[in-house]
Amino acid sequence: MLQKPRGTRDFLPEEMERRRRIEGCMRETARRWGYREICTPDFEHLELFTLKSGEGIIQEMYVFEDKGGRQMTLRPEVTASVLRAYVNEGKVLPKPIRWCYFADCFRYERPQKGRYRQFWQFGVELIGADTASADAETITLADELLRTAGVTFDLQIGHLAPMKRLTQDLPPEGQRAVMAHLDKRNHAGLEQSLAEIGRDDLFEPLIGLVDSRDPAAVFEIAGDMPERSRIEELFAILDSMEISYTPNFGIARGLDYYTGMVFEAFAPNLGAENQILGGGTYRLAHLFGGDDAASSGFAVGFDRVMVSLGEFPLEKTPIAAVVSTPEARARAWEVARAFRAAGIQTEIDLMQRGLSAQLAHAAKTADYAVILGRRECESGRVTLKNLHSGTQQEMTLAEAISGVSQHGAC
């Protein structure tokens, strides 16, 4: 038997209903904040992502050569595409630009819990605003999005400036290593890296930075800096909005293009892959030939949110099954059409089953049976049977439709 590709999943209707429901929550929240949907290609020129993230990511992507000999790749994320689209067509739009997307992405990685080779991200990008308010909007929207979806999470917010200030004298490789260790809270690795470059004196301040839960203490350690007022303003807005978060000035997000604020959210009930959201402020447009627009944004790991949420009840709408004898076949089609026109999910027998078997089937899949035989054909009425209570009654078609509409599923 043919298997699905490694790291991919089939979603059956039950699961799709759950996914669409949560997707709808996220879309609605973004809409209320003025973020309108953008859709970019599933595949892009490879160069788009190597420009953004370096050559090293090629081995993690689905790269292919198209029939014209072009180096292409399935998108591993959406931010690069959105910024490319901005450079291509968004330059003249009034700023700030608020865009959101819900899209599948592809990464050639080893699958594990919450990590798949095809996965979905819901994200927003706020382009052209370079203020504490813009930072605050990005974070607050992220918080609201996750809360609306119903997921339990820890929100951690940091800023790259203090860490960069402390490590500004280090060689680039040293700085990179130090930030990586801090991001992973790897104290032993940090100590070793600092020793290798002869800067053991930085160990205590850097640890203090990461462990600090008070922004004021961070400036005590790292000293004053130009970004200080913006950072303080950001946290003031978040506090006034009563956002629940943990300051974490050890977040490095690993990538060079982040310029200031960075934030992440974690779901405590997930395994090793427990980060469900990540974002920050960045500059990318200039890489793709555009202006140096300041941007901020985040992406939600939609599949991880779904794993974290687990099973939850779905609201049911009533289902009607039209059950008929062979002689009432034509009438059954008419009645089914009328039910569907009223917006009711309605199914009709396609298996040429006997009345008994039709009812047996309806009892498993529907809430109401609309029974049609010679008697109903002659009277022009229908028999409506409630399949949960077992009660049934003959009535007009209109009465049956309104009865099903009003009672809902049991």
Partner RNA sequence: GCCAGGGUGGGGUAGCUGGUUAUCCUAAGGGACUGUGGAUCCCUCGACCCGGGUUCGAAUCUCGGCCCUGGCCCCA
Q: Which of 371, 400, 401, 404 binds RNA (CB under 7 A)?
A: 371
Q: If you compute the radius of gyration of the chain from its CA atoms, what whole number of angstroms results?
A: 28
- Which CB sits closer to RNA, 44 or 232? 44
- Which CB sits closer to RNA, 67 or 364? 364
Region at 321 (left for phi over 0; alpha for psi -120 to 50; beta for the rest): beta
Q: Which of 273, 290, 395, 403 binds RNA (CB under 7 A)?
A: 273
Q: Is the dihedral of CA 276, 281, 282, 285 positive or negative?
A: positive
Q: How many residues bind RNA (CB under 7 A)?
A: 60
- 278 part of the interface to RNA, by CB under 7 A: yes
Q: In this structure, are strands 246-247 and 71-74 parallel, antiparallel, or unpaired? A: unpaired
Q: Which of 237, 309, 342, 355 binds RNA (CB under 7 A)?
A: 355
- 381 part of the interface to RNA, by CB under 7 A: no
Tokens representing 101 are 């997307």
**Residue with structure tokens 């809902």?**
408
Of 80-109, binders to RNA (CB under 7 A) are: 107, 109
Q: Which stretch binds RNA (CB under 7 A): 95-103, 111-119, 313-321, 330-338?
A: 111-119
- Which CB sits closer to RNA, 221 or 299? 299
End-to-end CA gap in the chain: 39
Q: C-alpha dihedral over 143, 146, 151, 152, to 10 degrees?
A: -10
Tell me the residue ranges of DSSP E strands in 205-283: 246-247, 258-266, 275-282
- 392 part of the interface to RNA, by CB under 7 A: yes
- Which CB sits closer to RNA, 31 or 184? 184
Binding mask 219-258 for RNA (x = CB under 7 A): ----------------------------------xxx---
- 111 part of the interface to RNA, by CB under 7 A: yes
Residue (of 377, 384, 402) closest to 322 by Cα position: 384
Backbone phi, then psi, for 258, in 5-degree steps? -70, 135
Q: Which stretch binds RNA (CB under 7 A): 26-34, 136-144, 227-235, 271-279?
A: 271-279
- 403 part of the interface to RNA, by CB under 7 A: no
C-alpha–C-alpha distance, residues 245 and 213, integer Å: 10
Residue (of 350, 366, 355) closest to 323 by Cα position: 355
Bond preceding residue 268 cis, omega within 30 of 0: no
Q: Which of 25, 38, 77, 130 binds RNA (CB under 7 A)?
A: 77
Residue 269: beta bridge partners? none
- Which CB sits closer to RNA, 61 or 206? 61
Contact in structure between 143 and 276 (CB atoms under 8 Å): no
- The residues of the shown chain that bind RNA, judged by CB under 7 A, are 1, 3, 5-8, 49, 53, 57, 60-61, 76-77, 79, 107, 109-114, 180, 184, 253-255, 271-273, 275, 278, 299, 325, 328, 351, 353-357, 359-361, 363-364, 369, 371-377, 383, 385, 387-390, 392
